[in-house]
Amino acid sequence: MRYDVRPVYKSVRYRTTSVCVLVLIYLAVVYLLPRPETVKPEGWRLLGIFAATVGGLILQPIAGGALVLISVTLAAAAGGLPITQVLMGFGDPIVWLVMAAFFISHALIKTGLARRIALVFVRTIGQTSLGVTYALSATDLVLASIIPSNGARSGGVVLPIARSIADLYGSRPGPTAKLFGQYLINALYQSICITCAMFLTGQASNPLAAQIATTTFHYPITWVSWLVAGIVPGLCSLAAIPYVIYRMYPPEIKRTPEASSFAASELARMGPMDLGQKIMLATFVTVCGLWVTTPFHGIDITVTALLGSCTLLVTGVLTWEDVVADRAAWDIFIWYGGLVRMGKALNEVGVTTAFAKGVGATFENAGWVALFVIALAVFFYAHYGLASITAHMLAMYVPFCTVLIARGAPVGLVLFAFACFVNFSSGLTNYGTTPAPMFYSTGYVPFKEWWIAGFVISLLNIAIWSTVGFWWWKVIGIW
């Protein structure tokens, strides 16, 4: 029997080429970029390792967790960091917050509570095609308050229900897509990009942005402050997006009473809430409630999330086997912990300060307002070349924020603007974030229409967040 080795060869060739590119990135940073006198050689080598790591997260020659593990090892070997300091990132509270949130999200999906929430929304406001979209967007909004994986909540809960409803009306990829499915998938994906920006737990790299803001710029961002900042512009975007796409690509089916009936029948089939769902609901409400009231009781949000996870373990809603088998959570733990520590280390060795001084001198005649507008536009549309929100943020968040803050821009405005905008920039393409390929691969939305909608909605979101959003941030004292 003969085997076709071409796919394997192609994979090996791509991996080899990518590794060579990463080595060249490291060498270019260390040996071609002029090193400031304030940064020691080992600090500059650490920058080279970090730059190559970001490049690796974009090129993905190997899994992100494996790549970061290699990077932190090299940081100990050549970046001047003792191994004890390198491993400190894995004990960072923000890393464990994300881990605990992943465990809680696992229980939400396992118990069926997440699906029940979605069906209740559809049953309530799903009598029209617009209503179905708003219902499923509202589901993702609720789940984003505690589930940091946009792939898990939108790809694992929202998308299957959306496909079932489209199929209910005979709308399938191909000639019947315009009946309902094309509009629903397109509008829904653009909406879930907004929910990513509305919560600290809306997307996996948001806590990393908050950590950078706290440690590098000494501007604490909490779950509550992110919620308050994102809620007004986020709700405006969520209200506008389905309607705008409805006008651009109107579905042929406008009224959808069967969708509401479908949700009601599915809820009837699920029956009343069992003990596991009741415990999960109580845990969900309690954890979110404690997060919102943190300023009053002072319990750290990581402690709250871990208490929620422990409650689910003690009651048997989650088993230890569930925790151990949650590959996404442990993958996050490895790459997240490593990147948190490397980001802190770059600040400690003076790289970010040196960068700000260098770029600030280049644009010494430009005011911060003009520089802010240009930088935010470049930052946003750079996502056309990126397939990861995390890689985008790691590559550009600190440098852009550092330069603008050094030029006199309000710290809160800069940090929140770039942290939020990076999330809905993922709506530009069909590869912008984890759920994008899931939604695009359904086959309902042609490539051209996906990109046109992405660009139009990007203008809408920028308009909303830079007017309503910036005004709201002024009102609540962010800047």
pLDDT digits 0-9 by tens, 200-251: 999 888 988 998 898 889 999 999 999 999 999 999 999 999 999 999 999 9
Mean pLDDT of the chain: 88
Tens of pLDDT along 115-151?
Answer: 899 899 999 988 999 999 999 999 999 998 888 878 7
Residue range of the domain that includes 72: 1-81
Tens of pLDDT along 376-429?
Answer: 998 899 888 777 788 788 878 888 898 899 888 999 999 999 999 999 999 998
Q: How far is residue 328's CA from residue 64's CA, in Å, rounded to a whole number?
A: 11
Q: How far is residue 255's CA from residue 258's CA, in Å, rounded to a whole number?
A: 9
Residue at 119 is within a domain: no
Residue at 152 is within a domain: no
Helix ranges (DSSP H) in 60-175: 64-78, 83-86, 93-111, 113-125, 129-144, 150, 159-168
What is the C-alpha R_g of the chain? Answer: 23
Residue at 478 is within a domain: no
What DSSP assignment string belongs to 182-214? HHHHHHHHHHHHHHHHHSTTSSTTHHHHHHHHH
Which two tokens mark 430?
């069909």
What DSSP assignment string belongs to 38-71? TS-HHHHHHHHHHHHHHHHHHH-SS-HHHHHHHH
Domain count, the chain: 1
The counts of H helices and E strands in the chain are 25, 0
Residue at 11 is within a domain: yes
Residue at 52 is within a domain: yes
Residue at 321 is within a domain: no
Residue at 64 is within a domain: yes
Cβ-proximal residues to 358 (8 Å cutoff; 6+ apart), any chain: 36
Cβ-proximal residues to 117 (8 Å cutoff; 6+ apart), any chain: 139, 142, 143
Residue at 183 is within a domain: no
Q: Taken in order 425, 212, 328, 108, is the CA torsion positive or negative? A: negative
